[in-house]
Structure formats: structure tokens, C-alpha cells
């Protein structure tokens, strides 16, 4: 069945009312083909993502019309390190996005940062002077809520324990899933005196771990008890090693929070953000997009580029974020994009005229 893009009215309703029709997130078996040609059967449970086994030469974008624009109808942009760094807009981005729209390109903005909901990211785009329609914005907090909705978590009558910030909580509110933790537990400390113990809610059926600038020992202990003793499902919004809190340096990302819970439970999480196929399956199947004409643009090899290569998309790595050209071209790197560029502004590079001899 083909699906068409929602109208502006439907899209606004979709943002306000939550994810009532995100059927693409339903758990199912499917076949994943990596760029190396390996075929693996997978579910929407934790999985190991395939990477290329042989280092390939990576072409730097030099003729954007023929190398990229003629081959792509839809661009999926990561946000941190591509559109902005921290709270600072990267120079030239508004003009580049406007040029892409004038060419008739569809655009979506997919971020692994779970600290904001889709509505929260809409406010951030607005604050940076970018008029991005809400239906073009997808976050890993959205993906976590959609995963719960499509696995019918609400019907279990259980709650979610949140390690994370307000973005996850707002998305859970939209789908009516009860939760505890999150910002409310930021100042709590467990009783660690003689005989001290932390009592957890027996109704917790899942633990969502997202980026949390106020993570503490109370939250880690609560999560491990829910998982180890209560059998709660362990869900991670993403595994990003570092993130852009400011434009001055890299900061420890959600991988550090997830790593803490992995360390004390011995369990691997269900990952719902990039490079998981959840969000691209939603876009491709729900909105009727041809994966062969979609390009993922990001600044990370192990999430953005892998998201593209593992899901049959074209991929462009930009050097405006965490990945350097040295790391990309290193013999140790086995994850390679189709193209790379300094920033997305290079999509409209002036190509020097050829001089005939």
C-alpha cells in the first residue's frame, strides 16, 4: 500500500495528538541488506548493525548537481553538527535549505537528541530563524514513544521509568503512557546507610534511557532494579558517544548513560534512534518515499552514515560536526559514505568552468 504525504492540517493534528498511525514501527521480521551484500534476518529487537568490511575511497563532493542533486528527491538531515552546533546556527544554512526547497526537494530533520519533543525542536528551529514545518521534525524521543505505542505497551497497564529529560516525558504524555522518573528524580539520592535500600514501583514495565544532564546514582540504581529484579524492558533512545551541548567542545553523549545501565544489568537495549531502521521505515512506508532517492546527511559515521548504508539510502558525511577528514579517510575506518563535504552549503558549490586546451 502506498501512503501520501499528510496535508498541512493533518500534519498539525498529527503533531498535537501523538502518533495514532505509526504502523511502520510495529515489530516484525524483515530482511536487511548491507552495502557489503550481506543479508541478515532481523526484528526490531537489539541487533548488531552491519558495516563494510573493506575500506573504500570516499569521493569529496565537487560537482553537486550530477553527483548528488540529480539523484536525490528527499534529504534527511541530522541536526547537531549539521544544522547547528549547540545553540549556534551554522553559517549559510538558511540559504542552503531555501535553495533545496526551490528545487522541490523534500526535507526531514532527524535527531538522536531526546532532550526535546518534536514540539520542543520546533521551538528551537524557530528560535534560530528557521521556519521548519512540524511534520518534518523527528527526534529519538518521538521514536521511543512510537515504539511503545506499536508494541502496545499501554495495554499492559505498566509504567515507564525515564532516565532523560522533558522531551521523552512530553512524547509519552501524547500517547497516554504513564511514567515516573526523568527530571523529577534529578535531586534524589538513595539511602545508602546501614540496611538502606531503594524501593521501586512494581508496575514499571520499561526503562527508557535518553540523554540526561542530571543523571545521578539514584536514577542508575532505580533503573537497574527495574530491569534486573522487575524484568522491565531496557530501551535506549540512541548510543551516541558524544554530543554538541555547546559549540566550544564535544560533550559526553547518551552512550555514557546507556553504558552505565548496560554495565550494571549485563543487558543490551532496544535502540530506537539512528542507526535503527525505525524512523526510516516510518518515513518510507508511511509517507510513500522511495529509499533509493533518499539521502541521509550527518556528521557521525557510526549513527548517521550507518543509518544510511544499512537502510539502503545514499549518504553524505559533513565535516561540520564530530567527524574529521582524517578519521573518515583513516585505514581503520570501515564505515564509508557515498560522498563527503565540508558543510551542506557545498551542495551548491560553484563548479569552475573547464578550460579547453
pLDDT at site 12: 39
pLDDT, tens only, 26-76: 443 333 333 333 323 333 334 333 444 444 589 999 999 999 999 999 999
Lowest mean pLDDT among 34-43, 183-192, 232-241: 34-43
pLDDT at site 354: 57
- pLDDT for residue 16 is more than 60: no
- Check whether domain 142-271 has CATH 2.70.150.10, yes or no: no
DSSP code string of 62-114: S-HHHHTGGG-SEEEE-SBTTTEETTEEPTTHHHHHHHHHHTT-EEEEEE---
- pLDDT for residue 229 is more than 50: yes
Domain-by-domain residue ranges, the chain?
A: 142-271
pLDDT confidence bin for 339, thresholds 50/70/90: very high
| 116 known member of a binding site | no
The answer to whether the CB of 237 falls within 8 A of the CB of 168 is: yes
pLDDT, tens only, 322-337: 999 999 999 999 999 9
pLDDT, tens only, 256-290: 999 999 999 999 999 999 999 988 988 888 788 99
Q: CA 338, 340, 344, 350 torsion: positive or negative? A: negative
Beta strands in the chain (DSSP E): 30-33, 39-42, 59-60, 74-77, 84-85, 88-89, 106-111, 137-139, 159-163, 179-181, 204-209, 233-236, 242-243, 251-252, 270-271, 294-298, 314-318, 339-341
Q: What percent of the chain has pLDDT over 70?
A: 82
| 78 known member of a binding site | yes
From 80, 212, 240, 346, active-site residue: 80
- The angle subtended at Cα 354 by Cα 352 and Cα 357, nearest 5°, is 145
pLDDT at site 204: 98
How large is the average pLDDT for residues 339-356?
Answer: 84
pLDDT at site 11: 40
Lowest mean pLDDT among 13-22, 31-40, 173-182: 31-40
pLDDT at site 246: 83
pLDDT at site 287: 84
Q: Is 310 a catalytic residue?
A: no
pLDDT at site 237: 98
pLDDT at site 193: 96
pTM: 0.78
pLDDT, tens only, 83-119: 999 889 999 999 999 999 999 999 999 999 999 999 9
Q: Is 80 a catalytic residue?
A: yes
**Distance of alpha carbon 245 from alpha carbon 251, whole angstroms:** 6
From 70, 73, 78, 290, active-site residue: 78
| 299 known member of a binding site | yes
Amino acid at each position: 500500500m502506498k501512503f501520501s504525504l499528510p496535508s498541512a492540517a493533518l500534519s498539525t493534528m498529527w503533531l498535537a495528538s501523538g502518533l495514532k498511525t505509526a504502523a511502520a514501527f510495529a515489530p516484525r521480521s524483515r530482511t536487511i541488506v548491507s552495502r557489503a551484500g550481506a543479508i541478515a534476518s532481523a526484528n526490531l529487537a537489539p541487533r548488531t548493525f552491519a558495516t563494510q568490511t573493506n575500506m573504500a575511497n570516499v569521493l569529496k563532493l565537487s560537482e553537486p548537481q550530477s553527483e548528488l542533486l540529480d539523484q536525490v528527491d528527499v534529504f534527511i538531515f541530522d541536526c547537531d553538527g549539521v544544522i547547528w552546533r549547540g545553540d549556534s546556527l551554522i553559517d549559510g544554512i538558511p540559504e542552503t535549505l531555501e535553495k533545496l526547497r526551490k528545487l522541490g526537494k523534500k526535507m526531514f530533520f532527524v535527531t538522536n537528541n531526546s532532550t526535546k519533543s518534536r514540539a520542543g525542536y520546533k521551538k528551537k528551529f524557530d528560535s534560530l530563524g528557521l521556519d521548519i514545518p512540524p511534520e518534518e521534525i523527528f527526534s529519538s524521543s518521538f521514536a521511543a514513544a512510537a515504539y511503545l505505542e506499536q508494541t502496545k505497551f499501554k495495554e499492559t497497564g505498566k509504567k515507564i521509568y525515564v532516565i532523560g529529560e522533558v522531551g521523552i516525558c512530553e512524547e509519552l504524555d501524547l500517547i497516554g503512557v504513564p511514567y515516573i522518573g526523568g527530571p523529577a528524580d534529578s535531586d534524589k539520592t538513595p539511602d545508602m546507610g546501614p540496611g538502606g535500600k531503594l524501593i521501586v514501583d512494581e508496575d514499571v514495565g520499561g526503562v527508557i534511557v535518553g540523554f540526561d544532564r542530571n543523571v545521578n546514582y539514584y536514577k542508575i540504581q532505580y533503573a537497574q532494579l527495574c530491569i534486573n529484579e522487575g524484568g522491565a524492558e531496557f530501551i535506549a533512545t540512541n548510543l551516541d558517544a558524544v554530543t554538541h551541548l555547546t559549540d566550544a567542545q564535544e560533550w559526553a553523549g547518551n552512550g555514557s548513560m546507556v553504558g552505565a545501565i548496560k554495565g550494571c544489568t549485563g543487558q543490551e537495549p532496544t535502540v530506537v534512534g539512528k542507526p535503527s531502521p525505525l524512523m526510516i521505515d516510518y518515513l518510507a512506508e508511511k509517507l510513500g518515499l522511495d529509499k533509493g532517492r533518499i539521502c541521509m546527511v550527518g556528521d557521525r559515521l557510526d549513527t548517521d552514515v550507518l543509518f544510511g548504508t544499512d537502510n539502503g539510502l545514499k549518504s553524505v558525511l559533513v565535516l561540520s560536526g564530530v567527524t574529521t577528514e582524517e578519521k573518515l579517510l583513516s585505514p581503520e575506518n570501515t564505515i564509508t559514505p557515498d560522498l563527503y563535504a565540508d558543510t551542506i552549503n557545498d551542495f551548491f558549490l560553484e563548479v569552475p568552468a573547464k578550460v579547453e586546451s
